[in-house]
């Protein structure tokens, strides 16, 4: 199975100029933890998550900046004099638009990516979702939930044979069915001739 088989195509996204307040409202109302950021041509320019709005001055949850100089100084002077991490924290907690808090180094995949590769990517990068692009434009999202859902919806294939069909012929059909994307188990059903009992057996993959 590939990304195109499991991805969410009804994509919720925001633009770089979306306000942080509007972003927070969107995440809350839709019950989602993050969204891609796209430009006017639907190209992914960033990704933003609930973690990016966790520490905000409006709610008093901004990271506390340690005073590193003697005497009383304005917190913004301390921020300017501090290292990049403190300056970044200040931007995250005070910025007004998505472009200033989003992650710009976005990991993306093509719609032909194999699920095994996607699962490895989500695990190694420690991310919950990844944008799917085609010709540079956003066409879907694959999340961990999508992969779990794909596992839950994989199906069994049922094959019906006459008891007169040769074993080699039945084996050919079974192997072909096992290689159908999404099929995890093949059930063989042998239809007996009149006066005989029918037989069923499973062949788990």
pTM of the model: 0.64
Q: Determine the Cα–Cα distance for residues 108 and 200; give it in Å rounded to an integer.
A: 45
Q: Are 108 and 55 in contact (CB under 8 A)?
A: no
Q: Are 13 and 38 in contact (CB under 8 A)?
A: yes
pLDDT in tens, the chain (205 residues): 789 989 999 999 999 999 999 999 999 999 998 999 999 999 999 999 988 888 787 767 666 655 444 445 565 555 555 566 777 777 788 889 999 999 999 999 999 999 889 999 999 998 889 999 999 999 999 999 999 888 777 677 777 888 888 888 888 888 888 887 767 778 888 877 655 544 444 554 4
Q: Determine the Cα–Cα distance for residues 131 and 146; give it in Å rounded to an integer.
A: 12
Residue with tokens 């973690």: 51
Phi first, then psi: what are they for 201, rounded to 5°?
-150, 150
């Amino acid at each position: 199975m590939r990304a195109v088989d499991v991805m969410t195509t009804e994509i919720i996204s925001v633009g770089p100029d979306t306000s942080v307040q509007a972003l927070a409202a969107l995440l809350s109302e839709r019950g989602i933890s993050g969204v891609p950021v796209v430009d006017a041509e639907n190209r992914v320019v960033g990704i933003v998550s609930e973690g990016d709005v966790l520490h905000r001055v409006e709610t008093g949850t901004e990271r506390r900046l340690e005073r590193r100089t003697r005497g009383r100084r304005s917190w913004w002077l301390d921020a300017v004099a501090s290292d990049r991490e403190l300056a970044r924290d200040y931007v995250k907690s005070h910025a007004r638009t998505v472009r200033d808090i989003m992650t710009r180094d976005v990991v993306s995949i093509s719609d032909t990516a194999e699920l095994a590769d996607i699962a490895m990517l989500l695990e190694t990068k420690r991310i919950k979702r990844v944008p799917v692009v085609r010709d540079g434009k956003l066409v879907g999202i694959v999340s961990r939930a999508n992969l779990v859902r794909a596992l839950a919806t994989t199906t069994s294939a049922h094959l019906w044979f006459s008891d007169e069909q040769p074993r080699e012929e039945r084996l050919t059909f079974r192997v072909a069915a096992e290689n159908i994307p999404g099929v995890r188990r093949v059930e063989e059903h042998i239809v007996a001739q009149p006066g005989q009992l029918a037989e069923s057996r499973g062949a788990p993959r």
